[in-house]
Amino acid sequence: MGGDLGESLARDDRTLPLTRGQLDIWLSQEAGFAGTQWQLGLLVKIDGPVHRDQFQQALTQTVGEAESGRVSFFEVDGQVVQKPIDYPHVELEFHDLRGAADPVQDAREMSSAIQRTPMPLNGQMFKFVLFQTGHEEFYLFGCCHHIAIDGLGMALVCRRVATIYSAMVAGKPIPDAYFGSAQDLVDLESEYEASEDYLEDKAYWSEHLPPESGPVDRLPDAGTEQDHYSPSASVQLDPSVVNRIKELSKKLAIRRFSVTTAACALLVRGWSGSGSEVALDFPVSRRVTPESKTLPAMLAGVVPLVLSTEPQTTVADFCKHVDKRIRELLKHQRFPAHTLEGDGLRQAPNRVGINFLPMRLTLDLAGSPATASYTNHGPVGHFGLFFLGAGDQLFLSTAGPGQPFAGFGVADLAGRLQQILAAMTADPERPLSSIELLTPDEPALIDRWSNRPALAEPAPPPVSIPAAFAEHVQRTPEAPAVTFGDHSLTYAELDEASNRLGHLLAGHGVGPGDCVAVLFPRCADAIVSMLAVLKTGAAYVPIDPAHASSRMDFVLSDAAPSAVITTAELRPRLEGHDVFVVDVHDPAVDSQPSTALPNPAPRTSPTSSIRPERRGPPKASPSLI
């Protein structure tokens, strides 16, 4: 930051500190965790005429009133600060798309491009564009940065624009402004952090956080070949299922979204493999005071919803448990619970989020009906399930790269949730363990993938590795079997080389019941030696020369091999051990016959030098055949 600007800001009495929520977003963007995902969009369809000059005036006046939403952010003397910026003239960019092949689609694509254009944090935090798509059809797109305003704040601004515009067109007085200021926002948060409520909330969350260790074996996120962060298309849930949710919630005296949340928790539990406790990210508005409900600012947060899904619990009791936990967290929603968790991230990287939103906002723009809908929902840490309500209708949209959820289409996920909800509402007294998470056709798929019918068949006769290898040699003798550096061996060459070494070993008495150590780095000679040992009926004990001498000594003493196969370079490592040593490059090996050895009874390796503390036979390597 330049010295003159820094001094100017330091002297400006409108320069304010960031709130905790704003600082989280600033740090997230600076660290590269999320970029334009923090830019929120609202697309408004207007069915009727729009008086552009008056609409622009209404935008300018609304932005002027919404001080907390027109801030910019700067670094001054190592501190991040915010300052309201005056905009005496708010630009309303206009595009006439009536001549396009698909004007509405063009408007959506242009809005998406605007939303993906980074907004500098020290610049303007909003943009408005008006598209004309028909004779009396318009689309207004508003884009704002989440660090300055959240989704509910955007709705407040949207409604205020409609009020001012309608009054201007009708020639009536404009109702008084009612938005709080940027100072009000900072004071509101500061007073909370110094209050008893803050301490009570902190005590609650200290006792209700998810376990520190989440599933360590979670699948890697989906690839970047497609955009997993933009919300998917919305899929409507079956109205009959939605009606049954309504009936069950009424019967249990709980809220409808508690039943839906319960179903989501069961789905997540079934796919997470993390035990009976499930944690979901649960967005909250944090607007619990009257003052906060008229602030077009950034107040929203995310808290963990931790649920117990014990198998014997009935559906009814689980739904009541979910409803109780949601009521509790809403009571303590202002506290930044993520600051008590290990990584301190606003959204956990391995947690599914669930959010309930209005499908659309309805507005009256001087007699022209308008409907506004969000074009994105902000960053998604792992995966998000977004339920959009419109009367008695319920829609599902998804976003995020988290697996396995991102591997399913939104229609598939909606179908799975409907299956769970249908089972829950059909018999609320059934235990959770009885609810099937697989679709009807998946058990048969699993049987086929796992070759389950083979369990009922007689076991095939055992085949030794040398016998299986011999069959492969007969099928493809000239195919490459071993490739190492610039060299390769065909199956026939590998067969003959291992036969010669095997004859040498057998000539020195190596056979069934013996074990032979194989001291090599990763190389073709190691494969030849292993196969040669197996052809004698003995077992091989691999030793990595990179290991410490003490470890090698332990393996040799413990396994007591009849022989060790190695190279001249590594032979000195065997000094002090009374054991027959075979140099794999000894000319005596080449003088042996390349014909097959007699087929002795197969044996397996008694131990492994890779982990000498683990006793018992390791599995034979399929790479040998």
Locate the domains of the chain by residue range: 3-183, 231-366+378-449, 465-624
User: CA-to-CA distance for 49 and 368, rounded, in angstroms?
Assistant: 7
* pLDDT score, position 127: 97
**CATH number for the 465-624 domain, one of 3.40.50.1240, 3.40.50.980, 2.30.42.10, 3.30.1490.190?**
3.40.50.980
User: CA-to-CA distance for 396 and 413, rounded, in angstroms?
Assistant: 9
pTM: 0.70
Contacts of 620 (CB under 8 A, 6+ apart): 465, 604, 605
User: CA-to-CA distance for 42 and 376, rounded, in angstroms?
Assistant: 8
List, in sequence order, every beta strand (DSSP E) within 226-351: 235-236, 277-284, 301-308
- 3-183 and 465-624 agree in CATH topology: no
10-residue mean pLDDT profile of the chain (625 residues): values are 47 83 91 83 97 98 97 92 96 97 97 94 96 97 96 96 98 96 97 97 94 52 56 93 96 97 94 81 95 96 94 97 98 94 62 89 96 88 89 91 86 95 97 90 81 80 88 94 89 96 94 95 94 95 93 93 96 92 95 88 44 37 44
* pLDDT score, position 333: 97
Name the amino acid, one letter, at 455.
L
Q: Where would I find the H helices in 434-564?
A: 442-449, 465-475, 491-507, 524-535, 549-559
CB contact at 8 A, 62 and 163: no
SS3 (DSSP) at 379: coil
Asked whether the bond before 210 is cis by omega within 30 degrees of 0, the reply is no
* Fold classified for 3-183: Chloramphenicol Acetyltransferase (3.30.559)
Between the CA of residue 177 and those of 4, 61, 252, 620, what are the distances in Å? 35, 10, 43, 79
* Fold classified for 231-366+378-449: Chloramphenicol Acetyltransferase (3.30.559)
Name the amino acid, one letter, at 261.
T
